[in-house]
Amino acid sequence: MARACGLGLLLALLLPMVGTSVPGTVVRLNKAMLNYVSETGKAPLQRALQVTVPHFLDWSGEVLQPSRVQILNVQVSRLDLNFIAGFGIRMLVAANFTFKVFRVPEPLELVLPVVLVADARVAPDSIRTPVVSISTCSSFFNNAIVLDGNHSTALLVRVQRHIKAVLRNKLCLSISNLVQNLNVHLGTLIGLNPVGPESQIRYFMISAPNITNDYISLDISAVLFLLGKPIVLPVNATRFMLPEHVGTDSAMATVGLSQDMFDSVLLLLQKAGTLNMDITGQLKSDNNPLNTSVLGLLIPEITHQFPQPMSVVLKVRLGATPMVILHTNNATLQLQPFVEVLAVTSNSAFQSLFSLNVAVNLSLQLSVSKVKLQGITSVLGDVKLTVASSNVGFIDVSVGLRSPEVPSLGGGGLTPGEGTDQVHAQIGTVFEKPLLDHLNALLGMGIALPNVVSLYYLNAEIFVHEGYVVVSSKLLYEH
């Protein structure tokens, strides 16, 4: 309890720091999910209903005779779960309890049919995870069926009265305990999930769930951490609302991911520096364009400054935050990296040759593996290059976008238009593949979707809409 209160206080202190708006996500769970829970929940429910029954005390002549009572088996034949609009979930359980009463001289075996009805409220708790609490619970008993033993009706009535008195309280208590164990499991929603080596994401509920007769919808947002501290996000007062009819009819869970969610995760990756990279060439590698000799064929001043071939490094840095553009059936990732081209000198120092502003559009394909949203990219159209600075004279890299002329700082170089296609192709070739490899490796690691321990998304389908993405999925619980 102290730990939960402490964590609740910690979140209360952290959440105001991230502004009035946080990345929006909606998780909608429908009747198919309840049916799945009904099937997977029968076994643990049967175990939970295996309660201890005290001895049955009955007079034998003038002696009070205690007889041990044991539940031999509990068979749950029916477990129905249904939504109660504006409240929570109703549970209906039909079970047969097989008892053995160890009487002397002859034991008694009987089957007692029981029906349990319980209403459970679903609401967020102090640490902003969903909590299920039993509000009402009732048990109803049918007449017992004797399996073994030839006993009087009066004895059977007394035995049933004893068993019913015990079960009436214990069965509802068992269901309540089972729900408490479920709440411990649901509490893992707020667990930290890694985004990169130094960044994490944590989900939490922002309001009471919306419950209809057909589904429960949870408004969930995220706190993004960098080096253990929440990052400040741009304020967006627009709350994400998931439309009613999205996803597939066969899904158990429908997860809506807002534009803000994608923007915030990309901001985190950019601040963490995980999108930056160095592209290094090996001097002795055959057909390697990343050396001064090859670049000097296109930009003579490089050969002038470096008569002997030296390796070249491209330092790719993302100063501007990447953007995901979401249109119907189309997700595009826009990057504007700054690329500095440096030569490695004889004393292993770096000398800047020139730098480029790059604009590249990437097609983004999304998929889900277990609990992670993953992506893979491919280049759309040309990689646009403009010269930011040059220490090797004028460079014209315009293709589809004219570069401004940069005054020569070292003399020589190409005249405007000379070598345009060659420079663009050379830089584009050495830049494009490493960029895609780096991005796809990073996006392949995935970002955790809202999840709890041991519950996974299964056969998920992705739908891209204007301004948001929908994950429509079945669920799989692994014990």
Q: Would you give per-residue pLDDT tens digits along the chain (479 residues)?
A: 444 444 443 443 344 344 444 678 999 999 999 999 999 999 999 999 999 999 888 766 566 778 899 999 999 999 999 999 999 999 999 999 999 988 877 888 999 999 999 999 999 988 889 999 999 999 999 998 888 666 677 788 888 999 999 999 899 999 999 999 999 999 999 888 988 878 999 999 999 999 999 999 999 999 999 998 998 877 666 789 999 999 898 899 999 999 999 999 999 999 999 999 998 765 555 456 678 888 888 888 999 999 988 888 999 999 888 999 999 999 999 999 999 999 988 787 899 999 999 999 999 999 999 999 999 999 998 888 889 999 998 887 653 333 333 333 233 333 333 444 566 666 667 788 888 999 999 999 999 999 999 999 999 999 999 999 999 999 999 87
pLDDT recorded at residue 265? 92
Residues 154 and 210 in one domain: no
Last residue of a domain, one of 154, 188, 222: 188
Residues 333 and 226 in one domain: yes
- Does some domain include residue 9? no
Residues 202 and 148 in one domain: no
Last residue of a domain, one of 188, 204, 222: 188
pLDDT recorded at residue 151? 66
Decide: residue 234, CB within 10 A, 0-12 exposed, 13-18 middle, 19+ buried. exposed
Among 430, 411, 425, 413, smallest CA distance to 296 is for 413
3-state DSSP of 73-115: EEEEEEEEEEEECCCEEEEEEEEEEEEEEECCCCCEEEEEEEE
Angle, vertex CA 179, rays to CA 178 and CA 180, nearest 5: 90
Last residue of a domain, one of 148, 167, 188: 188
Number of domains the chain contains: 2
Residues 183 and 260 in one domain: no
Residues 102 and 43 in one domain: yes
pLDDT recorded at residue 282? 56
pLDDT recorded at residue 402? 31
* Run of H or E including 170: helix 153-186
Residues 249 and 356 in one domain: yes
- Does some domain include residue 5? no
Helix (H, G, I), strand (E, B) or coil at 425: helix
Nearest-angstrom CA–CA distance, 25 and 469: 10
Residues 139 and 264 in one domain: no
Do the Cβ atoms of 295 and 438 come closer than 8 Å? no
Angle, vertex CA 152, rays to CA 150 and CA 156, nearest 5: 100
Other beta carbons within 10 angstroms of residue 444's beta carbon come to 13
Residues 419 and 299 in one domain: yes
32, 121, 169, 244 from 175: Cα distances, Å: 22, 14, 10, 33
- Does some domain include residue 15? no
- Does some domain include residue 66? yes
Residues 215 and 82 in one domain: no
**CATH number of the domain to which 94 belongs:** 3.15.10.10
Q: What are the contacts of 118-121 at 24+ separation with CB within 8 A? A: 118/90, 118/91, 118/93, 118/172, 118/175, 119/84, 119/87, 119/88, 119/89, 119/90, 119/91, 120/88, 120/89, 120/90, 120/91, 120/179, 121/87, 121/88
**CATH number of the domain to which 398 belongs:** 3.15.20.10
Phi, psi of 169, rounded to the nearest 5 degrees: -90, -40
Do the Cβ atoms of 311 and 254 come closer than 8 Å? no
Q: Tokens 């589904």 belong to which residue?
A: 215
- Does some domain include residue 4? no
Nearest-angstrom CA–CA distance, 358 and 379: 13
Nearest-angstrom CA–CA distance, 223 and 264: 10
Residues 469 and 394 in one domain: yes
- Does some domain include residue 24? no
Domain with 396 in it? 196-477
- Does some domain include residue 432? yes
- Does some domain include residue 438? yes
Residues 292 and 171 in one domain: no
For residue 169, give both structure tokens.
């309280």
Residues 94 and 231 in one domain: no
Nearest-angstrom CA–CA distance, 2 and 290: 59
